[in-house]
Structure 1
Amino acid sequence: MKITTLAPERCRPVPDAGFGALRTERGNLPLESVDVTAGISGLVAGVEVAQGFRNPFDVTLEATYVFPLPDRAAVTAFRMEADDRVIEGELKERGQARADYDQALREGRRAAIAEEERPDVFTIRVGNILPGERVTVRLSLSQPLPYEDGAATFRFPLVVAPRYVPGVPLDGPPAGAGTVPDTDAVPDASRVTPPVLLPGFPDPVRLSLAATVDPAGLDLRELASSLHVVEEEGHTVRLRPGERLDRDFILRLSFETSTSLQLDDEGTFALTVVPPEAQATRTPRDLVLLLDRSGSMSGWKMVAARRAAARIVDTLAAEDRFAVLAFDSVVEQAFDGLVAGSDRNRYRAVEHLARVDARGGTELLEPLREAVALLAPTEGRDRVLVLVTDGQVGNEDQILERAGGALSAMRVHVVGIDRAVNAGFLGRLAGLGAGRCELVESEDRLDAAMEQIHRRIGAPVVTDLSLKGLDVEPGTVTHLGSMFPGVPLRVYGRRRSGDSVTVRGLAAGAPWERQVVGTVVDNPALRAVWARAHLRELEDRYAMGEHELESEIVRVSLEYGVLCRFTAYVAVDTRQVAEGGPEHRVIQPVEPPSGWEMPTAPPPMSGFVAQAAVMAAPPAFRARPASFEAALEDEGFRGAPSGRPGGGPAGRPAGGPAGGPMGGPMGGSAGGSVGPRGPAFAPPVPPRPARRAPQGLEAVRGQLTAELDRLRALPVADVFYLADLGSRLAALSAYLGDHAELSALARELEAAERPGADPRALRAHAIEVLTALTGGAPHGGSAPEQPRRPFWKRA
């Protein structure tokens, strides 16, 4: 190979450019700035987000940006500004909005479209930006602030963290321009996985954020920012220049709220009720603790998660029963079933937790199944599930569809640990189980958060809530849930008449009620906040299988002017500026999340081919005793027959993702898209034998068949994929008690990266062995259910 020597003057380093940074005379990233301006009044914030794009190329450009917004925020306006022109966006059914956008681009006109992918993940596309031109798009939103223990929290997310994507890749073109292909478990994975900048990349986007606080008659005692350095001017807080888009902005406002009923002239109401003092009575409980130990939990998050889990165990009393499950690509239990909350068992649990470290992928569905099976209904005992995680998964809808019914029958508390936490999904899980979601953004915040969790892990203060006195429109009142110590009840709805309400419930088993007289307010945000909360509940029901709600979701969204997953804002210029569609397309890379242990070297492969090559096999749900399956059916699980994706049994691999096992497309035991294999991303360690003995190859035949199918479809005989396949087969062999043929094949494949290895021969040999072990089945198990046409692909 000929090596050309470059003169030093031709390769001068760019100041402050880290590894992987690329820079040309015209630049290389279309997003120049993000400006957030918030006005906080009481417990509601009005926010405007301005994103500035510039075309650094010499051809027309379409820029795509995947970004987060608060999961409870109602997006109520959208506009595009370019060449001294202002184009107001229109809210339309999503397919129609896309058709209008595409037609405008074909006709050479500027256009922009804003779409919701998740309750807290959005995509903006801006097309036909002329060379050198700057375009600004603006979003207006209204956001309610959660309040507890004397403080409201204004949380504004700034980065979409990488998410773990399980499932089998789908045929056909991807739905988006992300780094991970769509799968049967996450059919829009390519729309929520933007590329991630390598560590050390120079600051690519100018960020400004200012929040002005109007106490609205309340006694504001303190403003505190927990993750960013801020400057205060009176009641205005600003980010210090130079801050990056790599973590949530969190501002806490300390003041005392009060019980109130706000009414607007259009029939919307917002009810806030401060809970009564907590009662001393306590019901014995069965508690299952799920601890996420996946690769994305590395570093400070794993330390905080272990501490949080140990504190939860400390809340147990002798009359309680509990189980501790740690999960990544496998599920491991500290005990065999539920055990008494004795001092000895609690000590054993904490000792077990101290040995848990981060590894593997976030296979969340299987541990939920395990937890539901353990939490069988028992008279006189509360059923409580506690999940400690960062929530960085892409298959939120699949989890809600298959587990939502079961979770709604018990109390679910969630502890979210991350500086860019998936708050939308974790809040949805806790809401299903009438529990609480506590978010921990730093180790410094952990003690305060755990004190709150300690108070709320038990029974709520008031249950069985209902409203009397208002003539409400049927189906418009948001979920009442339960009242917990220090957390006011917040309810939104629509009324026909009435100016006061009586809240009724049970406190310590005795009737309780509180009457609240309404006050008429002139606050346009009230209607938008209600519409967003109502839409979110409808969307969750849709995700859980009520697909007939689609037309109702679109109707509510369009009638009240609030963006949802079935609608989109589109802004189209009337002036033609180009000959046709964009000649170049760029998806904006996002910052690596702060606090994540990111790879520090380039990957061995990149792009879609690399992502496809490192797919791990989908899990096969092992057959269980009839009583176990019946328990799942009784608890509301849907569609989880043997051989279907959804996670493996306790103590064995649950299969790998389309993204990496770090909780996103990060590399790991199945390879990666932005980093190398290394100690932090090692294959899962084979677990101790499961509590249920395997039954020979039948116990893993579905997984082996899936591995065979994946190996046959591999575009090239890649050594990294083969080595990772070897590690997965070794784990399966260990689960079976050291299967001779599997172990031998695993050792051969794990040596694929060594000098002199022949990857083509190894691949052929692996296909031959796996074909023999699976009985020659060319494809896995029963035919998978055909996925319905995703609404985000409609045009």
Structure 2
Amino acid sequence: MERCGLITPEKQAVPLQSVDVQVDVKDHVATVVSTLLYKNKEEKPIEAVFVFPMPSEAAVCHFSAKVGETLIVAEVKEKKQAREEYDDALSSGQQAFLLEESDQSPDIFSMSVGSLSPGESASIRLEYVTELDVQADEALRFCLPAVLNPRYQPAGTESSSVKVTSVPSSLVPYDLTFSARVESPRSVSNIESSCTVDPVEYLNQDQTKASVKLAAGHKFDRDVELLIYYKDSHQPSAVVEAGQASAKPGSLMGDPALMLSLYPEFPKDIMSSVSSSGEFVFLLDRSGSMGCSMGHRGESGSRIASARDTLLLLLKSLPMGCYFNIYSFGSTFEQIFSGSVKYKQKTMEEALKKVEKMEANLGGTEILAPLKRIYSQGCIPNQPRQLFVFTDDGEVGNTKEVINLVKSNAGSHRCFSFGIGEGASSALIKGLAKEGGGHAQFITGNDRMQPKVIQSLRFAMQPAVVDISVKWDLPKGVSASVLSPPLTSIFQGQRSLLYAQLTGQSKEGAEGCVTVKYSLAGRPTENKLNFSLKPAEDTGLTVHRLAARSLIRSLEQEQEGARGQKDDTVKKKIIDLSVQSGVSSSFTAFIAVNKTSGEAIQGPLLRRDVPLPRMMAYSAPKTIARMSCPDMMPMKACAQKREREGRLPQFGRTRRRMMAYSAPKTIARMSCPDMMPMKACADEGTQRSLRNSVLLTEDCYDDDDDDDDDYVKPVDECYKPPSPKVQRDPLLQVVSLQKASGCWELEPALAQALSKTSQDLESKLPAMAKKEVWATILALVWLHGLKADAKDEWELLVMKAVMWLRSQNAQGLTECVEAANALLGCTVQKDALGL
């Protein structure tokens, strides 16, 4: 059974047999229906518990179970009441089904399937609706999360972590089938995926409808991500949805609901300029999991290496005259400068030297302390603060506290957040950006981090949009009550959503108008959208549910920030709205009880936890738990001590006893008696041919959660030499040579990066040109001519180079461009360089 993967780490059978997911995308909204088939193959009745990830923005709106020919549809009730009904049903021998959002975070759900008799099956249906994010390349992103990383609990915080049962992805015992249907007023140009999918099938001639399926044999080693491309760029739109006939008029579900999708257009002259001021603060996760590969099977560099390259691009792209600082964090945090410093050649070089040495070696993920330090630093006059947060953590145990801290400082900065890799918490990443008035990005699979981060830097360098107001122009007798939180940030090319409840009657063919007004760089600006008040067809209650979800999340944030003053009042509002709309919340749960079953199920239930796929999760490469304990403390006592302190995630006991030791760049896996002192054990381990840097392979240890040390492979078989150092990307080589001012110097390193000799560069130098001007033109022609596909990454630093050239009043630019084209084999025009 172990080889078939049909057990949990505790050697228990897994009742979940298969998962079928069907996604229906209409423009930028997705309806997701998951059907989970359970079967009890044991000789005793069981209770199956499945803890799984969910998009934090999802509105869960349906939960039902089918046992035989009996369909049991769940109701939304107050969470405590739902749990009591579930327990009472199981105690009386009835079947019951419970779905609830974690108290810890809105992106974790728990599904309990209670009292399955031997040989009995149950089909569970779960439905939710969600909005799709706009990516840097204008694709819409849908993600079905498959990975739930262990939640790191910071020291000194009250543990509320949910138990996550996991196995290696190759041993996940249930199958996944996945299909998606896309429909839009605009043609679908393509659908891409992080997973292997069958060819896209277009369902009509104008290609406004398409479908795609996950290819057979999918392994649970990644999230399922779809990128949907429409032929025309996104346009503002409005959808009016009729209310529910059975709901009370005047209520959210009884009245029509409106969803506005706004894509503001900023004046071109403002968009073409780049601010030369600002305080840019970068906060980088250096916990152990950042040592994992960016790709799915280790075919690409590590996350920390990609982050280092990204920081290089960011530092080269900053404007002269701004201020900056870099913080990094794990169990502790570090900062390069004591406070933000002025950006110039000296400070840039000092920062880059320290960035090059950054490794994933700071332990856990305690983000609160560095954030407090950043906010304790006074803002610099006339230098708007822009905070960039990079993390791959599933989630920290104090997420709500972290988000509230950002919210309380929202008036002094904008926060841009980046979730790296599968399992990064959407609640944490999106919460930081939302409350910080910034923008969130996710980098998964083999995505390049750099273009997404540079896009956010562009947003940060745009003047902040202030004084945002929304004005409604509706027919007489019709009014709009906005259900979304107030707009606090607007970015060029990004969608802003507004939900509203419409009250009153309108004549057939009536229209409304909404105007968004704001100030940009001191210039009053407005965008208008006219729309029909006629309800759209075939929308179901999608808009109402998304509107309810938006209002529920706003109220939850209000309740969290009230700190006891208005807890009961706001909590009651949330519960009432959740029950009325049928959308889950942090204070409610779905409960279904099978009251039609025959004889009561006898005997105690066996609990069976359904496992999720495990990524290579924590600490140094391939899950080694880093510990810092006295040399003479026994290993088991040390592990237990650190666990009590909250320094380790919820892994099995076997893995907790894996210690990191020895000289720098050497990771020793040791299997030692529990009472052997750490240093003696380490010394014994290092004498076993561990002379070079080594990496632990995935199958060197068993994954039991029992008390024995089942390390069965000899140490020499459990290690392999590190891969040869990867040659640096030529693009990054060229970028790394740019000076803070924006220019390049004529030096051997530049010749090597351009695959030329120093003599080549010197001999082609135009007579009238200065060496720095010639070197800068060479770099610009090379970027435009040979790296045009990476324009999103180098565009800002090229703008800085062009500004430097203009400031030089340089002679012979035309000759330099012609000579550079001849030398590099390019055909770049002078105008294309911005000269």
Contact 2:194 2:226 in 1 (8 A): yes
- 2:239 maps to what in 1? 262
Give the percent of matched residue pairs that are identical in Structure 1 and Structure 2: 27
Distance 2:662 2:428 in 1: 27
Residue 572 of structure 1 deviates from its aligned partner by 0.5
Unaligned runs of 5+ in 2: 203-209, 243-254, 293-301, 505-510, 628-634, 666-672, 683-708, 710-835
SS at match of 2:573: helix
Distance 2:306 2:196 in 1: 20
Distance 2:479 2:346 in 1: 52
- 1:292 maps to what in 2? 285
Distance 2:416 2:574 in 1: 28
Q: 1:350 aligned to 2:352? A: yes
Q: 1:558 aligned to 2:579? A: yes
Residue 600 of structure 1 deviates from its aligned partner by 7.3
Residue 33 of structure 1 deviates from its aligned partner by 1.2
- 2:22 maps to what in 1? 37
TM-aligned CA distance change 1:517 to 1:112, over 3 Å? same
- 1:177 maps to what in 2? none
- 1:677 maps to what in 2? 658
Query: Aligned match of 2:214 in 239, 245, 260?
Result: 239
TM-aligned CA distance change 1:602 to 1:388, over 3 Å? closer
Q: 1:154 aligned to 2:142? A: yes
- 1:436 maps to what in 2? 439
Contact 1:464 1:482 in 2 (8 A): no
Distance 1:512 1:415 in 2: 30
Distance 1:684 1:97 in 2: 53
TM-aligned CA distance change 1:580 to 1:409, over 3 Å? farther
TM-aligned CA distance change 1:617 to 1:372, over 3 Å? farther
Output aligned runs, 1:449-598, within 5 Å. Answer: 449-459=452-462, 462-469=465-472, 476-496=483-503, 499-519=512-532, 520=534, 521-522=536-537, 523=539, 524-547=541-564, 548=567, 549-574=570-595, 575-580=597-602, 582-593=604-615
Distance 2:236 2:5 in 1: 53
CA deviation profile, 1:641-695 (whole Å, cap 9, x unmatched): xxxxxxxxxxxxxxx85262xxx3358xxxx66454244x99999xxxxxxxxxx
Aligned letter for 1:60?
A: P
SS at match of 1:160: coil
What TM-score do you get using the length of structure 2 for normalisation?
A: 0.68
Aligned letter for 2:241?
A: D
Q: 1:108 aligned to 2:110? A: no
SS at match of 1:555: helix
CA deviation profile, 1:481-524 (whole Å, cap 9, x unmatched): 22213212222232436822111001222101112112332322
Q: 1:129 aligned to 2:116? A: yes
Residue 195 of structure 1 deviates from its aligned partner by 2.1
Distance 1:280 1:513 in 2: 20
Query: Aligned match of 2:166 in 172, 185, 196?
Result: 196
TM-aligned CA distance change 1:560 to 1:72, over 3 Å? same
- 1:221 maps to what in 2? 189
TM-aligned CA distance change 1:16 to 1:70, over 3 Å? same
Residue 81 of structure 1 deviates from its aligned partner by 1.1
SS at match of 2:171: coil
Contact 2:276 2:321 in 1 (8 A): no
Q: 1:320 aligned to 2:304? A: no
**Greater mean alpha carbon deviation, residues 217-226 or residues 302-311:** 302-311
TM-aligned CA distance change 1:533 to 1:546, over 3 Å? farther
**Greater mean alpha carbon deviation, residues 427-436 or residues 438-447:** 438-447
- 1:84 maps to what in 2? 69
Residue 213 of structure 1 deviates from its aligned partner by 0.9
TM-aligned CA distance change 1:582 to 1:311, over 3 Å? farther
- 2:755 maps to what in 1? none
- 2:397 maps to what in 1? 394
Contact 2:197 2:212 in 1 (8 A): no
Distance 1:203 1:463 in 2: 49
What TM-score do you get using the length of structure 1 for normalisation?
A: 0.71
TM-aligned CA distance change 1:200 to 1:426, over 3 Å? closer
Contact 1:105 1:127 in 2 (8 A): yes
SS at match of 2:348: helix
TM-aligned CA distance change 1:723 to 1:44, over 3 Å? farther
Q: 1:276 aligned to 2:257? A: no
Residue 297 of structure 1 deviates from its aligned partner by 1.4
Distance 1:16 1:369 in 2: 48
Unaligned runs of 5+ in 1: 1-12, 169-183, 605-609, 619-655, 686-716, 727-752, 754-795
CA deviation profile, 1:241-264 (whole Å, cap 9, x unmatched): 222334221111112210122222
TM-aligned CA distance change 1:511 to 1:581, over 3 Å? farther
TM-aligned CA distance change 1:472 to 1:162, over 3 Å? farther
Distance 2:637 2:409 in 1: 34
SS at match of 2:238: strand
Contact 2:238 2:258 in 1 (8 A): yes
Residue 580 of structure 1 deviates from its aligned partner by 4.7
TM-aligned CA distance change 1:123 to 1:231, over 3 Å? farther
CA deviation profile, 1:132-173 (whole Å, cap 9, x unmatched): 2111211111111112442211111112111211245xxxxx
Contact 1:127 1:582 in 2 (8 A): no
TM-aligned CA distance change 1:15 to 1:396, over 3 Å? closer
TM-aligned CA distance change 1:400 to 1:56, over 3 Å? same
Distance 2:84 2:519 in 1: 52
Contact 2:77 2:590 in 1 (8 A): yes
Contact 1:505 1:511 in 2 (8 A): yes
Output aligned runs, 1:163-178, within 5 Å. Answer: 163-168=151-156
Contact 2:235 2:263 in 1 (8 A): yes
Residue 413 of structure 1 deviates from its aligned partner by 0.4
TM-aligned CA distance change 1:613 to 1:476, over 3 Å? farther
Contact 2:403 2:428 in 1 (8 A): no
- 1:665 maps to what in 2? 650
Distance 2:219 2:452 in 1: 25
Residue 202 of structure 1 deviates from its aligned partner by 2.6
Residue 369 of structure 1 deviates from its aligned partner by 0.7
Contact 1:297 1:390 in 2 (8 A): yes
Contact 2:149 2:393 in 1 (8 A): no
CA deviation profile, 1:586-607 (whole Å, cap 9, x unmatched): 2222211268777579999xxx
Aligned letter for 2:180?
A: A
Contact 1:288 1:323 in 2 (8 A): yes
Query: Aligned match of 1:67 in 29, 48, 52?
Result: 52
Q: Which structure would you say has the larger Rg?
A: 2
- 1:696 maps to what in 2? none
SS at match of 2:280: strand
SS at match of 1:499: strand
- What is the aligned length? 611
Contact 1:36 1:209 in 2 (8 A): yes
Distance 1:230 1:325 in 2: 43
- 1:332 maps to what in 2? 334
Contact 1:329 1:684 in 2 (8 A): no
Residue 412 of structure 1 deviates from its aligned partner by 0.3
CA deviation profile, 1:621-645 (whole Å, cap 9, x unmatched): xxxxxxxxxxxxxxxxxxxxxxxxx
